[in-house]
Structure 1
Protein backbone atom coordinates (compact mmCIF):
# COMPACT_ATOMS: atom_id res chain seq x y z
CA UNK A 1 0.00 0.00 0.00
CA UNK A 2 1.35 3.41 -0.89
CA UNK A 3 1.63 5.95 1.91
CA UNK A 4 1.38 3.33 4.66
CA UNK A 5 4.49 2.76 6.77
CA UNK A 6 5.44 -0.89 7.25
CA UNK A 7 7.77 -2.36 9.85
CA UNK A 8 10.10 -5.23 9.08
CA UNK A 9 10.42 -7.29 5.91
CA UNK A 10 6.96 -8.84 5.99
CA UNK A 11 5.09 -5.69 6.98
CA UNK A 12 4.64 -6.76 10.59
CA UNK A 13 5.59 -4.57 13.53
CA UNK A 14 9.21 -5.38 14.33
CA UNK A 15 9.18 -4.50 18.02
CA UNK A 16 6.64 -6.97 19.35
CA UNK A 17 4.82 -4.41 21.47
CA UNK A 18 5.50 -0.76 20.79
CA UNK A 19 3.40 0.91 23.46
CA UNK A 20 0.02 1.25 25.08
CA UNK A 21 -2.57 3.16 23.10
CA UNK A 22 -6.16 4.10 23.77
CA UNK A 23 -8.84 2.07 21.98
CA UNK A 24 -11.11 4.46 20.09
CA UNK A 25 -13.74 1.98 18.90
CA UNK A 26 -14.41 -1.62 17.96
CA UNK A 27 -14.43 -2.36 14.23
CA UNK A 28 -16.44 -5.52 13.56
CA UNK A 29 -16.07 -8.50 15.88
CA UNK A 30 -12.30 -8.91 15.95
CA UNK A 31 -10.65 -5.53 15.22
CA UNK A 32 -10.03 -2.31 17.13
CA UNK A 33 -9.19 1.24 16.04
CA UNK A 34 -6.38 2.73 18.17
CA UNK A 35 -5.38 6.32 18.92
CA UNK A 36 -1.81 6.35 17.60
CA UNK A 37 0.64 9.23 18.21
CA UNK A 38 1.51 11.57 15.32
CA UNK A 39 4.88 9.86 14.80
CA UNK A 40 2.95 6.71 13.76
CA UNK A 41 0.51 8.58 11.52
CA UNK A 42 1.56 6.51 8.47
CA UNK A 43 0.64 3.23 10.21
CA UNK A 44 -2.89 1.94 9.61
CA UNK A 45 -4.73 2.39 12.93
CA UNK A 46 -7.01 -0.70 12.82
CA UNK A 47 -5.55 -3.85 14.39
CA UNK A 48 -6.80 -7.42 14.70
CA UNK A 49 -7.36 -8.58 18.26
CA UNK A 50 -4.56 -11.18 17.88
CA UNK A 51 -2.04 -8.33 17.41
CA UNK A 52 -3.06 -6.62 20.65
CA UNK A 53 -2.12 -7.44 24.21
CA UNK A 54 -3.75 -6.39 27.46
CA UNK A 55 -1.71 -3.81 29.36
CA UNK A 56 -0.76 -4.80 32.90
CA UNK A 57 0.03 -1.60 34.87
CA UNK A 58 3.48 -1.49 36.43
CA UNK A 59 5.07 1.61 38.03
CA UNK A 60 8.44 0.76 36.48
CA UNK A 61 6.89 1.17 32.99
CA UNK A 62 6.37 4.90 33.51
CA UNK A 63 9.03 6.86 31.64
CA UNK A 64 9.54 10.58 31.86
CA UNK A 65 10.83 12.32 28.78
CA UNK A 66 11.27 15.86 27.61
CA UNK A 67 10.47 16.68 23.99
CA UNK A 68 13.47 17.94 22.05
CA UNK A 69 13.31 21.33 20.42
CA UNK A 70 15.55 21.79 17.42
CA UNK A 71 16.65 25.15 16.17
CA UNK A 72 15.96 25.97 12.54
CA UNK A 73 19.62 26.98 12.21
CA UNK A 74 20.99 23.49 12.89
CA UNK A 75 24.01 22.67 10.77
CA UNK A 76 26.59 19.95 10.52
CA UNK A 77 30.09 19.68 9.16
CA UNK A 78 30.80 17.20 6.38
CA UNK A 79 33.95 15.17 6.76
CA UNK A 80 35.72 13.86 3.67
CA UNK A 81 35.80 10.09 3.36
CA UNK A 82 38.29 7.84 1.65
CA UNK A 83 37.06 5.28 -0.86
CA UNK A 84 38.90 2.04 -0.16
CA UNK A 85 37.38 -0.27 -2.73
CA UNK A 86 34.80 -0.31 -5.52
CA UNK A 87 33.19 -3.26 -7.21
CA UNK A 88 29.98 -4.19 -8.91
CA UNK A 89 27.95 -7.24 -7.93
CA UNK A 90 25.93 -8.73 -10.74
CA UNK A 91 22.65 -10.48 -10.02
CA UNK A 92 20.45 -12.07 -12.67
CA UNK A 93 19.14 -8.86 -14.16
CA UNK A 94 20.73 -6.16 -11.99
CA UNK A 95 24.13 -4.71 -11.29
CA UNK A 96 24.64 -3.43 -7.74
CA UNK A 97 27.53 -1.01 -7.14
CA UNK A 98 29.39 -1.70 -3.87
CA UNK A 99 31.62 1.00 -2.37
CA UNK A 100 33.79 0.49 0.71
CA UNK A 101 34.55 3.79 2.49
CA UNK A 102 36.60 4.77 5.52
Structure 2
Protein backbone atom coordinates (compact mmCIF):
# COMPACT_ATOMS: atom_id res chain seq x y z
CA UNK A 1 0.00 0.00 0.00
CA UNK A 2 2.90 2.34 0.76
CA UNK A 3 4.45 1.65 -2.64
CA UNK A 4 1.25 2.54 -4.50
CA UNK A 5 0.54 5.73 -2.58
CA UNK A 6 4.16 6.84 -2.31
CA UNK A 7 5.49 8.30 0.92
CA UNK A 8 2.30 10.24 1.64
CA UNK A 9 0.00 7.30 2.42
CA UNK A 10 -1.30 9.02 5.55
CA UNK A 11 -3.09 11.55 3.33
CA UNK A 12 -5.27 8.71 2.04
CA UNK A 13 -6.51 7.50 5.45
CA UNK A 14 -9.91 9.19 5.01
CA UNK A 15 -10.40 7.19 1.80
CA UNK A 16 -9.42 4.01 3.61
CA UNK A 17 -11.95 4.83 6.33
CA UNK A 18 -14.59 5.61 3.70
CA UNK A 19 -13.94 2.32 1.94
CA UNK A 20 -14.04 0.35 5.19
CA UNK A 21 -17.28 1.98 6.35
CA UNK A 22 -18.98 1.20 3.03
CA UNK A 23 -17.81 -2.42 2.76
CA UNK A 24 -20.14 -5.29 3.66
CA UNK A 25 -19.58 -6.69 7.18
CA UNK A 26 -20.71 -10.27 7.73
CA UNK A 27 -21.12 -9.81 11.49
CA UNK A 28 -23.90 -7.22 11.12
CA UNK A 29 -24.99 -8.26 7.58
CA UNK A 30 -24.72 -4.68 6.23
CA UNK A 31 -22.12 -1.98 5.70
CA UNK A 32 -21.34 0.23 8.70
CA UNK A 33 -22.70 3.33 6.93
CA UNK A 34 -25.97 1.54 6.16
CA UNK A 35 -26.28 0.31 9.75
CA UNK A 36 -25.77 3.83 11.10
CA UNK A 37 -27.93 5.81 8.67
CA UNK A 38 -30.38 3.16 7.41
CA UNK A 39 -29.53 3.68 3.74
CA UNK A 40 -26.65 2.97 1.38
CA UNK A 41 -24.04 5.64 0.70
CA UNK A 42 -24.48 6.97 -2.82
CA UNK A 43 -22.17 9.99 -2.79
CA UNK A 44 -18.77 10.41 -4.35
CA UNK A 45 -16.66 11.90 -1.60
CA UNK A 46 -13.13 13.24 -1.70
CA UNK A 47 -11.24 14.88 1.10
CA UNK A 48 -8.83 17.65 0.21
CA UNK A 49 -7.11 20.27 2.29
CA UNK A 50 -7.55 23.95 1.51
CA UNK A 51 -3.97 24.42 0.32
CA UNK A 52 -3.83 21.26 -1.82
CA UNK A 53 -4.08 21.23 -5.58
CA UNK A 54 -7.74 20.80 -6.42
CA UNK A 55 -9.00 18.51 -9.17
CA UNK A 56 -12.11 19.63 -10.97
CA UNK A 57 -15.19 17.96 -12.37
CA UNK A 58 -14.94 14.36 -13.54
CA UNK A 59 -11.23 14.18 -12.67
CA UNK A 60 -11.91 14.29 -8.92
CA UNK A 61 -14.60 11.59 -9.19
CA UNK A 62 -12.38 9.36 -11.35
CA UNK A 63 -9.37 9.79 -9.04
CA UNK A 64 -11.41 9.12 -5.90
CA UNK A 65 -13.16 6.10 -7.42
CA UNK A 66 -9.82 4.66 -8.55
CA UNK A 67 -8.37 4.98 -5.04
CA UNK A 68 -11.49 3.48 -3.42
CA UNK A 69 -11.38 0.48 -5.78
CA UNK A 70 -7.70 -0.03 -4.98
CA UNK A 71 -8.34 0.17 -1.22
CA UNK A 72 -11.29 -2.23 -1.44
CA UNK A 73 -9.17 -4.72 -3.36
CA UNK A 74 -6.46 -4.48 -0.67
CA UNK A 75 -9.03 -5.05 2.10
CA UNK A 76 -10.43 -8.06 0.20
CA UNK A 77 -6.91 -9.46 -0.31
CA UNK A 78 -6.26 -9.17 3.44
CA UNK A 79 -9.57 -10.94 4.19
CA UNK A 80 -8.73 -13.74 1.74
CA UNK A 81 -5.26 -14.12 3.26
CA UNK A 82 -6.71 -14.39 6.78
CA UNK A 83 -9.27 -16.93 5.52
CA UNK A 84 -6.52 -19.05 3.96
CA UNK A 85 -4.65 -19.05 7.30
CA UNK A 86 -7.80 -20.23 9.09
CA UNK A 87 -8.57 -22.85 6.42
CA UNK A 88 -5.16 -24.51 6.88
CA UNK A 89 -6.21 -25.86 10.29
CA UNK A 90 -9.76 -26.71 9.21
CA UNK A 91 -10.42 -30.28 8.13
CA UNK A 92 -13.54 -31.57 6.43
CA UNK A 93 -15.21 -34.21 8.58
CA UNK A 94 -16.53 -37.29 6.85
CA UNK A 95 -18.41 -40.10 8.57
CA UNK A 96 -19.47 -43.52 7.39
CA UNK A 97 -22.42 -45.56 8.56
CA UNK A 98 -21.37 -47.46 11.67
CA UNK A 99 -18.65 -45.02 12.78
CA UNK A 100 -18.62 -44.28 16.48
CA UNK A 101 -18.58 -40.59 17.28
CA UNK A 102 -18.68 -38.54 20.45
CA UNK A 103 -21.99 -36.79 20.83
CA UNK A 104 -21.94 -33.46 22.63
CA UNK A 105 -25.20 -32.99 24.52
CA UNK A 106 -26.03 -29.94 26.55
CA UNK A 107 -27.25 -30.54 30.12
CA UNK A 108 -31.00 -30.66 30.72
CA UNK A 109 -30.81 -28.44 33.74
CA UNK A 110 -28.35 -25.72 34.42
CA UNK A 111 -27.68 -22.12 33.64
CA UNK A 112 -29.56 -20.87 30.60
CA UNK A 113 -28.00 -17.66 29.45
CA UNK A 114 -28.95 -15.08 26.87
CA UNK A 115 -32.69 -15.62 26.94
CA UNK A 116 -32.96 -19.38 26.43
CA UNK A 117 -29.72 -19.73 24.47
CA UNK A 118 -30.69 -17.45 21.63
CA UNK A 119 -28.20 -15.35 19.82
CA UNK A 120 -27.48 -12.10 21.64
CA UNK A 121 -28.87 -9.46 19.28
CA UNK A 122 -30.10 -5.92 19.78
CA UNK A 123 -33.81 -5.64 20.50
CA UNK A 124 -34.30 -2.60 18.29
CA UNK A 125 -34.64 -2.98 14.52
CA UNK A 126 -31.75 -1.90 12.31
CA UNK A 127 -33.55 1.22 11.09
CA UNK A 128 -36.45 2.94 12.81
CA UNK A 129 -39.13 4.23 10.39
CA UNK A 130 -39.11 8.02 10.33
CA UNK A 131 -42.89 8.41 10.32
CA UNK A 132 -43.11 6.95 13.84
CA UNK A 133 -40.43 9.20 15.33
CA UNK A 134 -41.29 12.55 16.91
CA UNK A 135 -38.38 14.73 18.01
CA UNK A 136 -38.16 18.16 19.58
CA UNK A 137 -35.95 21.07 18.50
CA UNK A 138 -32.91 19.52 20.24
CA UNK A 139 -33.50 16.18 18.42
CA UNK A 140 -34.60 14.38 21.59
CA UNK A 141 -37.18 11.64 21.23
CA UNK A 142 -40.62 12.74 22.47
CA UNK A 143 -42.50 10.10 24.42
CA UNK A 144 -46.24 10.68 24.62
CA UNK A 145 -48.89 8.81 26.60
CA UNK A 146 -51.00 6.52 24.42
CA UNK A 147 -53.66 5.35 26.86
CA UNK A 148 -54.44 4.85 30.54
CA UNK A 149 -54.34 1.14 31.34
CA UNK A 150 -55.34 1.03 35.04
CA UNK A 151 -56.25 3.25 38.02
CA UNK A 152 -55.41 2.82 41.70
CA UNK A 153 -55.45 4.86 44.89
CA UNK A 154 -52.39 4.71 47.16
CA UNK A 155 -53.21 5.11 50.84
CA UNK A 156 -50.66 6.95 52.94
CA UNK A 157 -51.07 7.95 56.60
CA UNK A 158 -53.48 10.83 56.17
CA UNK A 159 -53.82 11.13 52.40
CA UNK A 160 -54.89 9.26 49.35
CA UNK A 161 -53.01 9.61 46.08
CA UNK A 162 -54.74 8.58 42.86
CA UNK A 163 -52.32 7.01 40.37
CA UNK A 164 -52.75 5.68 36.84
CA UNK A 165 -50.85 3.12 34.78
CA UNK A 166 -49.90 4.87 31.52
CA UNK A 167 -48.84 3.23 28.25
CA UNK A 168 -46.17 5.35 26.47
CA UNK A 169 -45.03 5.27 22.85
CA UNK A 170 -41.32 4.63 23.21
CA UNK A 171 -38.62 4.06 20.63
CA UNK A 172 -38.15 0.59 22.16
CA UNK A 173 -41.86 -0.26 21.98
CA UNK A 174 -44.71 0.20 24.45
CA UNK A 175 -43.64 0.99 28.01
CA UNK A 176 -45.83 1.17 31.10
CA UNK A 177 -45.31 3.40 34.15
CA UNK A 178 -47.36 4.44 37.16
CA UNK A 179 -47.88 8.22 37.37
CA UNK A 180 -49.92 10.53 39.58
CA UNK A 181 -53.28 11.28 38.09
CA UNK A 182 -52.81 15.05 38.26
TM-score (norm 2): 0.14
Bigger helix share? 2
> Relative to total residues, which structure has the larger strand share, 1 or 2?
1
Higher relative CO (CA 8 A, sep ≥ 6), structure 1 or 2?
1
TM-score under structure 1 normalisation?
Answer: 0.23
Could you say which structure has the larger radius of gyration?
2
